[in-house]
Amino acid sequence: MKQAEDLKEFLDQKTEQYNRPGFIENDPISIPHLFKKKQDIEIAGFFAATLAWGQRKTIVRKCKELMTLMDSDPHEFILHHTEKDLKRLLDFKHRTFNATDLLYFVESLRHYYIEYDSLESAFYSSPKDETVERGLIKFHNKFFELDHPHRTRKHIATPERKSTCKRLVMYLRWMVRQDNKGVDFGIWKKISPRQLVCPCDLHVDRVARKLKLIKRKQTDWQTALELTRNLKKFDPDDPVKYDFALFGLGIEEGWK
């Protein structure tokens, strides 16, 4: 029991250390922080989360490049772009995400925003759901309801493929969590912070295993759920705040 209390105290301290505005500058979350309008924040955040693999400096640079290509007005661009506007996207590339993927993303988002005011509706989970799992599956199906390149499906994870969905659950953390610390936005109110799942990237996975918060041998969707259940023992209403602690220990303090 004492060991659990000590771990909670340690993680609370590390969360407080990293969950502050200084975290923003070097992280992909800096991209949606460039905007004030809700839909711009959603769209910029969605692209930043999608492209969040590789070195953080490169991710931030490529995301800024993409926002510039969208006239630094992503919602307006998504809804009212012309064929000529799309041509400037043709040279965009980040890792395996290329123009083919980008053009479909733009078209799928346009199709969505014509009908709905906010992306929150696409991820909505019933308050009765323990986690956002069903919302993630619903979003994946909605996003690919248009004719689409098969290759593009790999850029949107789903629990149905047993993925940790690390980028999407990170995105949901950004949009849903509200704690007045200045990092996460808390602009989505229909999804509860208690339903969020902790992003389980390489660094978080290593640190969580070191702290015995994960026992599962493989790293998949069930692993992300296991980690989240264990974090709920420390804060059942906001378990994913500890993402800051685990990520900070891995990235900033080099825990392996």
Condensed to tens digits (0 to 9), the pLDDT of residues 56-100 reads 999 999 999 999 999 999 999 999 999 999 999 999 999 999 999
**Does residue 174 contact residue 32 with C-beta atoms inside 8 Å?**
yes
| pLDDT (mean) for 37-57 | 96
Compute the distance between CA of residue 244 and CA of residue 208 in angstroms, rounded to an integer.
12
Better pLDDT: 21 or 253: 21
Q: Around Cβ 32, how many Cβ atoms within 10 Å?
A: 26
Residue closest to 39 by CA, chosen among 81, 78, 82: 78
Please name the residue ranges forming H helices in 144-220. 166-176, 202-210
The DSSP secondary-structure symbol of 225 reads: H
Report pLDDT digits (tens) over 128-174.
999 999 999 999 999 999 999 999 999 999 999 999 999 999 999 99
pLDDT at 3 over 70: yes
116: left (phi over 0), alpha (psi -120 to 50) or beta: beta
Better pLDDT: 125 or 131: 131
**Does residue 66 contact residue 34 with C-beta atoms inside 8 Å?**
no
As a whole number of Å, the end-to-end CA separation of the chain is 25
Q: Which of 30-34, 47-51, 77-81, 246-250 has the lowest mean pLDDT?
A: 246-250
pLDDT at 256 over 80: no
pLDDT for position 2: 61
Residue closest to 165 by CA, chosen among 187, 191, 139: 139
Contacts of residue 83, Cβ cutoff 8 Å, sequence gap at least 6: none
SS3 30: helix
| pLDDT (mean) for 109-134 | 96
The alpha carbon of residue 31 and the mean position of all alpha carbons in its chain are separated, in whole angstroms, by 12
pLDDT for position 121: 94
Q: Which residues pair with 94 in a beta bridge?
A: 97
In this prediction, what percent of the chain has a pLDDT beyond 90? Answer: 93
Question: Which tokens belong to 198?
Answer: 């902790």
Contacts of residue 253, Cβ cutoff 8 Å, sequence gap at least 6: none
SS3 210: helix
Residue type, 21: P
Report pLDDT digits (tens) over 162-202.
999 999 999 999 999 999 999 999 999 999 999 999 999 99
**Does residue 99 contact residue 93 with C-beta atoms inside 8 Å?**
yes
Q: What is the pLDDT confidence band of residue 54, given thresholds at 50, 70 and 90?
A: confident
Question: Which tokens belong to 254?
Answer: 């080099």
